[in-house]
């Protein structure tokens, strides 16, 4: 370039012009003023040209310097992130230099001819080439640097129109180079393609044809890169999901542009893209959330319809993501959210998937925190999960939609149960204000009306069912009324509803409390369409529910089973059912145990006697632990029902006598229970036991003659006379009550064990006596003074027994043999209580004194006989070999 020559030529020309102007001025003054203006204009023109030349050279030098810096950084081992940021800053500075270059159009407007600008324009083109070469060098080393082009598009839009074409030309050339380069690469890392594609797509709608052409060329090369990046995939699916998401996101941002023209163009491209490729878009929740916030900020947004259309198109391919996001906003829903629900609901093709997603959300419990959840999985980021409430409100929008009719019919049972459960949860919810609408109730009504059950809804309204659901205690009755009313109108969805509820019952609920709703609704359906007893497959459910972890479920099941008493003998596997009821005796909930006792008694009254006899031992054994229950009502029922069982099966003496004898200890001790109902139950059952064991009924069990010690004495005498083999076991059972926390049990145990030991001493071994005495010694230190005094007397009895007990096996055996022959009755040992309320009457003597005298006479006779035996024992001890002859 001969820039110096050109400058010199211009200077010569200037001088010639000046000389002509001066000579002209001397000859013709008027023309001199015109010539002066021309001279000034010429000076200004060439001054602008000189400035343009200087700017060009400065830019040329600056870009060369920047190119060197970029190359130096490109070859270094600088951190990639820092490297990119530095190169981006240098490139932006270079680009700003381009923007500062002279506008040749303006220079031409000043009158500078093309022959004068030829060298300058050549220099200008060289500058652009340097900038382009710099970009090519960066991209050739790393396609990731294509991100600089993304930034460059934004810079271009901010500046003058005349430079946009040149900049876009550079961008398209760089993209062309990159599209060729990727052909030899095994992998392509260019995450900016989505955003860049969106920007170029908008420029394709520019008013200037030259810009449109360059943007189109650039977009073509960009898609070629994306096609290779996508593994040579289908051209219609060129962009990877992440890139397509960037593309969509960028266009979504453009909807809020101040320029309505740009926003409209973005909306058109966005709609077209999502119609065919929305399934590839990721970060759907983020997009939906962005739309919601934008519409909340500006409810009258110019692109409101386009944003709602985006929601619809995303719902078509990603219903689960869209619905989850739309349910994670505060309740009650605002107008913007309802609009977005309507937009999502307008896509009827995915109605089943939308309802499935809502049903999944409805499995949650409103107000439930992560710590409360069995599964550590959350739907919402809030501290408390209120998404189910939002889902219930959303159903009020979705269910009436005409295109949802088929899907609603498909999921009717699922929605019915889910909404009844939500009503149950809402009634227990504390974080919701009392005046807040019950959206689950409203959704339930919408379900009925959209399912052709308007008459059911009207009937429930007439029964005032809907209004009372806000009351926490009404819910169970409300569920019962819904099931009953549906049955009354013979709702056509009965088969699938019954099947679904049965399936849920078999699989087990998400929460135990869910069974409350299930069993109430299920039972009412069965009551209206089946006769008792239910088919076996349904009875199995009730058997399982009897021992449900939720006490309400257990009681509901037991109540239904009790109602089947008249047909108990028609039930298959009735033994299994009764066994389940016996297992309910172990429940920690007192009301469950009481309900189980009542149910069992009701069934036993109607049960076939052959089946009854096969279970009576097991049933009786189950009553015994309950006789010592902490709840007085359960104690009295267990004791009384035990007596009823003995009465029912009185003909099976051989089977029940051991059970009656085994239950004697609690029956005797709880005579002193502080609750009158327990004491009366003991008296009632003891009279039955006496009859079963063929003992005379003790007159002392009557209220007017009652005396605890004489009852104990009478029973012990009968035991020694007829069932002495049980005495050792009864002593063991009695000692177990000495550790009771209830004083009357410890007191009664001390007295009972004393009599049993006194009368059955000849049955006890020395080792047994020592163990028993050790236990009694602890009771001597009881905190209750009365118990301490009684325990001392009992201790003396055991010491006396231990003292008289011989160590010789022969003597001990002979003593037992002798006692067996000479059984004697004992007399009162404790005289407790000392002040008798009533004077007991002996059935033979009529008074206490006569009873004692008779006992003393018998003891004298026995004492004489014992002296004789002692002599025989002494003789036998001298020669043990003579013992067999005795």
* Helices and strands in the chain: count of H runs, count of E runs: 41, 0
Q: What pLDDT score does 166 carry?
A: 79
pLDDT value of position 438: 87
Residue 59 or residue 400, greater confidence:
400
* Nearest partner of 59 among 86, 93, 107, 108, judged by Cα: 93
pLDDT at 846: 39
Bigger pLDDT: 860 or 313? Answer: 313
pLDDT-derived band at 430, boundaries 50, 70, 90: low
Encode pLDDT of 717-732 as tens digits.
888 888 888 999 999 9
Cα separation, 54 vs 63, whole angstroms: 14
Q: Does residue 159 sit in helix, strand or coil?
A: coil
Mean pLDDT score of the chain: 80
Structure tokens of 125?
């083109």
pLDDT value at residue 436: 66
| Residue, of 842 and 687, whose pLDDT is higher | 687
Q: Which of 273, 341, 343 is nearest to 308 (CA)?
A: 343
- The pLDDT of residue 824 is 52
Per residue in 61-90, pLDDT (tens digit) is: 877 887 777 777 776 677 777 777 888 888
Question: How confident is the model over 675-689, as a mean pLDDT?
Answer: 94
pLDDT recorded at residue 180? 83
What is the signed CA dihedral for 164, 168, 169, 171, rounded to 10 degrees? 150
Whether 504 and 528 have beta carbons less than 8 Å apart is answered as no
Per cent of the chain over pLDDT 90 is: 40
pLDDT of 844 > 50? The answer is: no
| pLDDT for residue 20 | 39
Alpha helix segments (H runs only) across 649-724? 653-662, 664-669, 676-692, 708-722
Mean pLDDT lowest among 41-55, 273-287, 389-403, 744-758: 41-55
Say if residues 206 and 215 touch (Cβ distance below 8 Å). yes
Residue 626's pLDDT band (cuts 50, 70, 90): very high
What percentage of the chain carries pLDDT values higher than 70?
Answer: 77
Long-range contacts of range 69-78, CB-CB < 8 Å, 24 or more positions apart? 70/134, 70/137, 70/138, 71/137, 74/137, 74/138, 74/141
pLDDT at 392 over 70: yes
Choose between 686 and 474: higher pLDDT. Answer: 686
Contact 824, 743 (CB under 8 A): no
Burial level of 115, CB count in 10 A (0-12/13-18/19+)?
Answer: exposed
pLDDT value at residue 184: 63
Q: Are 763 and 727 in contact (CB under 8 A)?
A: yes
pLDDT digits (tens, 9 = 90+) for 549-597: 899 999 999 999 999 999 999 998 899 999 999 999 999 999 999 999 9
Return the pLDDT at 34.
45
Residue 385 three-state SS: strand
Give residue-wise pLDDT tens across range 791-818.
999 999 888 888 877 555 554 555 555 4
Per mean pLDDT, which range of 246-255, 430-439, 650-659 is the poorest? 430-439
Per-residue pLDDT at 232: 44
Which pair of structure tokens corresponds to residue 155? Answer: 């810079």
CA distances from 460 to 361, 400, 471, 551 (A): 27, 19, 16, 29
Q: What is the pLDDT of residue 815?
A: 52
User: Mean pLDDT over residues 29-49, rounded?
Assistant: 50
* pLDDT over 60 (residue 821): no
Distance separating alpha carbons of residues 568 and 546, to the nearest angstrom: 16
**Cross-strand partners of 385:** 368
Q: What is the DSSP string of 76-90?
A: S---HHHHHHHHHHH
Contact 489, 456 (CB under 8 A): yes
Closest to 416 measured CA to CA, from 305, 346, 500, 475: 500
The reply to whether omega before 533 is within 30° of 0 (cis) is yes
Which residue matches tokens 């909340």?
A: 296
Q: Which residue has the tokens 């009924």?
A: 697
How many C-alpha atoms does 798 have within 13 Å on its Cβ side? 27
Place of tokens 């502080």: 674
pLDDT of residue 8: 38
Tell me the mean pLDDT in the region 162-168. 76
What CA–CA distance (Å, rounded) separates 479 from 481?
A: 5
Asked if pLDDT for residue 309 goes beyond 90, the answer is yes
Mean pLDDT of 214-222: 80
Q: What is the mean pLDDT of residues 851-855?
A: 42
Strand-pair partners of 368:
385
Question: Quick one: pLDDT band at residue 696, thresholds 50, 70, 90?
Answer: confident
**Among 320, 359, 342, 349, residue whose Cα is nearest residue 396:** 342
**Is residue 682 within 8 Å of 667, Cβ to Cβ?**
yes
Least confident of 155-169, 399-413, 751-765: 155-169
Residue 105, judged by CB atoms within 10 A of its CB (0-12, 13-18, 19+), counts as exposed
DSSP SS3 for 368: strand
Residue 187 has pLDDT above 50, yes or no: yes
- pTM score, whole prediction: 0.72
Task: Give residue 186's pLDDT band: very low, low, confident or very high (50, 70, 90).
Answer: low
The predicted structure's pLDDT at residue 814: 52
Per-residue pLDDT for 248 more than 60?
yes
Beta-carbon count within 10 A of 809 CB: 10
pLDDT of 373 reads 53
Of 99-108, 536-545, 592-601, 618-627, the range with the lowest mean pLDDT is 99-108
Helix (H, G, I), strand (E, B) or coil at 234: coil
Instruction: Name which of 95-109, 343-357, 475-489 the model is least confident about.
Output: 95-109
Instruction: Give the residue-averaged pLDDT of 43-60.
Output: 64
Residue 64 is predicted with a pLDDT of: 81
Higher pLDDT, 150 or 489: 489
288: pLDDT strictly greater than 90: yes
Q: Where is pLDDT greater, at 94 or 347?
A: 347
DSSP sequence for 390-443: HHHHHHHHHTT-GGGHHHHHHTHHHHHHHHHHHHHHHHH-SSS-TTS--HHHHH
pLDDT one-digit tens code per residue, 752-780: 999 998 888 878 888 888 888 888 988 99
The backbone region for 745, taken as left when phi is positive above 0, alpha when psi lies in -120 to 50, beta otherwise, is alpha
pLDDT at position 92: 80
Residue 26 predicted with pLDDT over 70: no
d(CA 388, CA 410): 21
């Amino acid at each position: 370039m001969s820039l110096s020559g050109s400058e010199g030529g211009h200077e010569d020309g200037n001088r010639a012009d000046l000389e002509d102007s001066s000579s002209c001025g001397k000859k013709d003054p008027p023309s001199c003023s015109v010539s002066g203006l021309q001279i000034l204009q010429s000076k200004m023109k060439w001054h602008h040209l000189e400035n343009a030349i200087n700017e060009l050279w400065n830019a040329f030098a600056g870009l060369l310097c920047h190119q060197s810096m970029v190359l130096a950084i490109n070859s270094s081992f600088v951190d990639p992130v820092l490297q990119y940021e530095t190169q981006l800053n240098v490139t932006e500075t270079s680009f700003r230099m381009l923007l500062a270059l002279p506008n040749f159009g303006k220079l031409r407007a000043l009158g500078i001819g093309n022959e004068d600008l030829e060298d300058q324009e050549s220099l200008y083109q060289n500058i652009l080439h340097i900038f382009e070469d710099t970009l090519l060098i960066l991209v050739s080393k790393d396609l990731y640097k294509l991100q600089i082009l993304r930034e460059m598009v934004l810079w271009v839009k901010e500046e003058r129109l005349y430079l946009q074409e040149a900049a876009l030309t550079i961008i398209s050339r760089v993209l062309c180079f990159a599209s060729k380069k990727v052909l030899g690469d095994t992998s392509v890392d260019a995450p900016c393609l989505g955003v860049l594609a969106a920007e170029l797509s908008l420029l394709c709608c520019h008013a200037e044809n030259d810009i449109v052409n360059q943007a189109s060329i650039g977009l073509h090369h960009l898609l070629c890169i994306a096609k290779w990046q996508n593994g040579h995939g289908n051209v219609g699916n060129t962009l990877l999901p992440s890139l397509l998401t960037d593309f969509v996101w960028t266009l979504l941002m453009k909807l809020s542009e101040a320029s309505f023209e740009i926003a409209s163009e973005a909306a058109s491209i966005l709609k077209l893209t999502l119609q065919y490729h929305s399934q590839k878009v990721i970060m759907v929740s983020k997009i939906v959330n962005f739309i919601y916030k934008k519409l909340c900020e500006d409810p009258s947004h110019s692109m409101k319809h386009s944003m709602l259309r985006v929601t619809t198109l995303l719902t078509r391919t990603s219903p689960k993501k869209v619905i989850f996001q739309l349910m994670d906003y505060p309740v009650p829903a605002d107008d913007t959210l309802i609009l977005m629900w309507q937009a999502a609901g307008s896509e009827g093709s995915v109605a089943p998937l939308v309802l499935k997603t809502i049903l999944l959300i409805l499995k949650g419990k409103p107000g439930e925190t992560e710590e409360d959840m069995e599964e550590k999985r959350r739907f919402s980021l809030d501290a408390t999960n209120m998404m189910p409430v939002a889902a219930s409100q959303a159903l009020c929008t979705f269910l009436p939609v005409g295109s949802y009719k088929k899907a609603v019919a498909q999921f009717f049972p699922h929605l019915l149960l889910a909404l009844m459960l939500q009503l149950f949860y809402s009634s227990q919810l504390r974080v919701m204000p009392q005046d807040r609408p019950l959206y689950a109730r409203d959704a339930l009504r919408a379900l009925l009306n959209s399912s052709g059950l308007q008459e059911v809804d009207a009937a429930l309204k007439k029964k005032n069912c809907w209004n009372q659901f806000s009351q926490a205690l009404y819910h169970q009755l409300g569920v019962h009324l819904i099931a009953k009313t549906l049955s009354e109108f013979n709702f056509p969805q009965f088969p699938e509803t019954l099947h679904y509820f049965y399936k849920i019952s078999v699989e087990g609920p998400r929460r135990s409390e869910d069974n409350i709703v299930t069993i109430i609704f299920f039972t009412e359906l069965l009551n209206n369409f089946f006769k008792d007893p239910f088919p076996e497959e349904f009875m199995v459910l009730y058997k399982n529910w009897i021992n449900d972890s939720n006490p309400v479920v257990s009681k509901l099941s037991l109540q239904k089973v009790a109602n089947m008493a008249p047909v108990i003998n028609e039930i298959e596997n009735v033994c299994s059912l009764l066994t389940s009821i016996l297992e309910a005796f172990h429940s920690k909930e007192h009301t469950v145990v009481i309900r189980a006792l009542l149910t069992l008694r009701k069934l036993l009254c109607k049960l076939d006697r052959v089946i009854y006899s096969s279970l009576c031992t097991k049933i009786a054994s189950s009553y015994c632990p309950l006789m010592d229950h902490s709840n007085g009502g359960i104690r009295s029922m267990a004791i009384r029902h035990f007596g009823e069982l003995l009465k029912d099966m009185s003909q099976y003496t051989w089977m029940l006598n051991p059970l009656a004898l085994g239950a004697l200890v609690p029956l005797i001790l709880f005579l002193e229970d502080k609750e009158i109902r327990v004491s009366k139950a003991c008296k009632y059952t003891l009279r039955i036991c006496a009859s079963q064991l063929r003992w005379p009924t003790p007159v002392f069990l009557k209220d007017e003659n009652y005396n605890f010690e004489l009852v104990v004495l009478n029973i012990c005498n009968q035991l020694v006379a007829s069932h002495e083999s049980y005495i050792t076991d009864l002593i063991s059972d009695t000692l177990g009550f000495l550790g009771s926390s209830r004083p009357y049990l410890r007191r009664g145990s001390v007295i009972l064990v004393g009599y049993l030991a006194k009368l059955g001493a000849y049955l006890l071994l020395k080792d047994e006596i020592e163990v028993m005495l050790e236990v009694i010694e602890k009771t001597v230190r009881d905190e209750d003074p009365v118990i301490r005094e009684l325990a001392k007397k009992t201790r003396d009895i055991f010491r006396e027994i231990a003292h008289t007990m011989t160590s010789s096996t022969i003597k001990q055996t002979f003593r037992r043999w002798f006692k067996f022959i000479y059984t004697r009755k004992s007399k009162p040992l404790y005289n407790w209580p000392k002040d008798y309320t009533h004077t007991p009457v002996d059935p033979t003597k009529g008074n206490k004194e006569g009873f004692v005298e008779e006992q003393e006479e018998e003891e004298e006779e026995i004492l004489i006989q014992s002296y004789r035996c002692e002599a025989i024992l002494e003789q036998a001890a001298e020669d043990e070999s003579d013992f067999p002859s005795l």
